[in-house]
Amino acid sequence: MRISQRLCILVLCLSATALAHAQLPSAPEPQSDTGSINGTVTDINDDAVPHATVILDGATPADHRTALSDANGFFELNDLPAGTYRITLSSKGFADWTSAPIALKPGQDLDLPDVTLQLATAMSDVTVSYTQHQIATQQVHVEEEQRVLGIVPNFYVSYVWNAAPLSPGQKYQLAWRSIIDPVTFLGVGFFAGIEQADDAFPGYGQGAQGYGKRFGALFADGVTGTFIGGAILPTILHQDPRFYYKATGSIKSRILYAISTPFICKGDNGRWEPNYSSVIGDFAAGSISNIYYPAANRGVMLTIDNALLNTAGGSIGGLIQEFLIPKLTPIQEFLTRKLMPKANKQP
């Protein structure tokens, strides 16, 4: 099981405890008569347009407001009384965009559909195109910023259903970033402490030496599992090692999809196929663990136990990724708003 999967399972337990304590009755908050209007500004390639000028006009001069979109193209106009408004967006190199009349009700928080700015007429003959590798590079950069609760790395998840395939170098990049992340070392140390307290694998002994051996074994498990199942085999077999967030469909269909992800995956050709990388990788990593586990624990059973544990962990991790982690990953506020409605469409 990858170290990040174990950390995500731990986050699930901590989050469930926090939610249980948070569900205490509280006094109802007073309703506000003012509302807000927000949206996201993009270009024709679905890239964010930062620092776009946002002008709001209403029935009276007092309704006039101005704002700028942030680095993600997002803008928000708050404390607006009920009424009818128009919004004008402008940015250098793009044609101005003006909305139809927008009716805002008292206390309403209105989310506008994404606004796509067209190139200015003088620049309309310029064609911007990106290769699959360039698109994948940008998507990997986003994935490397994904952290559960802003802390635990969550790099092996794509929230874009039709994401560009990864090159071999990008597959190794994700594996390397996952292994060297400081939180990975903290997670290994935590689980090694649990094994030490339970005297798991007694052949390692106790004390600092025993803890060091347990730490090394767990870290080696993570390295072999991540590189073999997440980089080496996916490169050889042309498979995508990432979990794809489904988001749509019935609860049953999403559950079945999540628990099946250790056995199915996307190929680099975009088609779903048996997940040979994960299955073979689990058994290969389990076999390698015979080198460094205590002699009393080595053998065929260690290989089988570790492989089955990794597979079960993959199914549990899939359920957590599909139903819980998106709510705990801060970058999802942007991804869900900007990418999901357009890029996450499924056939």
Tell me the per-residue pLDDT of 126-175, one tens digit each, with 9 for 90 and over. 555 678 898 899 889 989 989 999 899 999 999 888 899 999 999 999 99
pLDDT band at residue 333 under the 50/70/90 scheme = very low
What pLDDT is attached to residue 346?
46
Q: What average pLDDT does the chain have?
A: 85
pLDDT at 291 over 70: yes
3 state SS of 184: helix
pTM: 0.61
What pLDDT is attached to residue 31?
57
pLDDT band at residue 8 under the 50/70/90 scheme = low
Tokens of 312: 């079960």
Residue 264: its H or E element: strand 264-266
Spell out the domain ranges in the chain: 35-123, 132-343
pLDDT at 113 over 50: yes
Q: How far is CA 172 from CA 71, 262, 323, in A?
A: 29, 19, 27
Please give the class, per CATH, of domain 35-123: mainly beta
3 state SS of 136: helix
3 state SS of 97: strand
pLDDT at 277 over 90: yes
Q: 272 forms bridges with which residues in the sheet?
A: 266
Residue 129: DSSP 8-state: -
Residue 78: DSSP 8-state: E
CB 183 within 8 A of CB 153: yes
pLDDT tens for 162-172 read: 899 999 999 99
Of 152, 166, 159, 35, the closest CA to residue 104 belongs to 35
Residue 250 burial by Cβ neighbours in a 10 Å radius (0-12, 13-18, 19+): exposed
Identify the weakest region by mean pLDDT among 159-163, 178-182, 208-212, 317-321. Answer: 159-163
